[in-house]
Amino acid sequence: MLKAVLFDLDDTLFSTTQFARIARWNAVKAMVAAGLDLPPEDVLRELEEVITEFTSNYDAHFDQLLRRLRAKSLDTVNPALVVAAGVVAYHDTKFRELAPFGDVFPLLRSLRQMGLRTGIITHGLTIKQAEKLIRLGILPFFEPKSIFISEQIGISKPNPKLYALACRDMGLEPSEVMYVGDNPPHDIAPPQTIGMIAVWARRAAKHDLEGTGIEPDHIVEDFDELREILRDHYGLE
């Protein structure tokens, strides 16, 4: 009997990829407007390289960007102001653009009406992931003790111990819990190894199933399809 549905966060409940693309482009345009005299397309391309090399959790992307660009215009412009312009533009975009997929709120309301418990298991830095939950406006749908952030827990995806701990802390058997995520090696295979039901949400997924040998219990394009699965396979109206 299904008792809970837990979710990944990035590219599952909202499009991290789309948001990042918009926010980085706005940041680059602001840096150019602040005096970085280079084509914005070139700056963006270099920024993407910085993020790839230093990871998205690095906290000085723009500083590293200016170091490697070595733009002559920075001889007459305060680099700190250029960096600040990028930071402000990025965060302004976050205030305006960060939003869940349109079918997230209806689904979460329905799960609550069905009597199912809900939670989050997400990989990333504690404060960054917590901020996303608050900005997305979805936090009220989850129990305070059903939010599991890898850094805070001390266990990182794809370690199945992260999923086992979540089930244990919620007082549930893995077989009673469904997990919905976008990344097959991180969100499908690990929960399946401990007996959870794994659903691949592929609409914003950056990783495919091909060549992985991973077989999700269910595959959905959107949460209307998930609603149908809950009805047809688990008897939940």
- In the prediction, which pLDDT does 131 show? 95
Torsion of CA 214, 130, 10, 158, to 10 degrees: -20
Q: What is the pLDDT of residues 118-154, one digit of tens each?
A: 999 999 999 999 999 999 999 999 988 999 999 999 9
- In the prediction, which pLDDT does 227 show? 95
Q: Say if residue 158 is preceded by a cis peptide, omega within 30 of 0.
A: yes
- In the prediction, which pLDDT does 176 show? 98
Superfamily of domain 4-15+100-234, CATH level 4:
HAD superfamily/HAD-like (3.40.50.1000)
What is the topology classification, in CATH, of domain 17-97?
DNA polymerase; domain 1 (1.10.150)
In the chain, what are the domain boundaries?
4-15+100-234, 17-97
Q: What is the pLDDT of residues 33-44, one digit of tens each?
A: 999 999 999 999
Could you give the C-alpha distances from 75 to 35, 38, 42, 80, 89, in angstroms and in order? 10, 13, 19, 12, 23
Q: Quote the CA–CA distance of 114 and 116 in Å, as a whole number.
A: 6
Share of the chain above pLDDT 70, in %: 100
Provide the pLDDT confidence category of residue 85 given band limits of 50, 70 and 90: very high
pLDDT at residue 92 is higher than 90: yes
Q: What is the pLDDT of residues 101-113, one digit of tens each?
A: 999 999 999 999 9
Q: What is the pLDDT of residues 55-66, one digit of tens each?
A: 988 989 999 999
In the predicted model, what is the mean pLDDT of the chain? 95
- In the prediction, which pLDDT does 112 show? 93
| One fold for 4-15+100-234 and 17-97 | no
Tokens 């170091």 correspond to 67
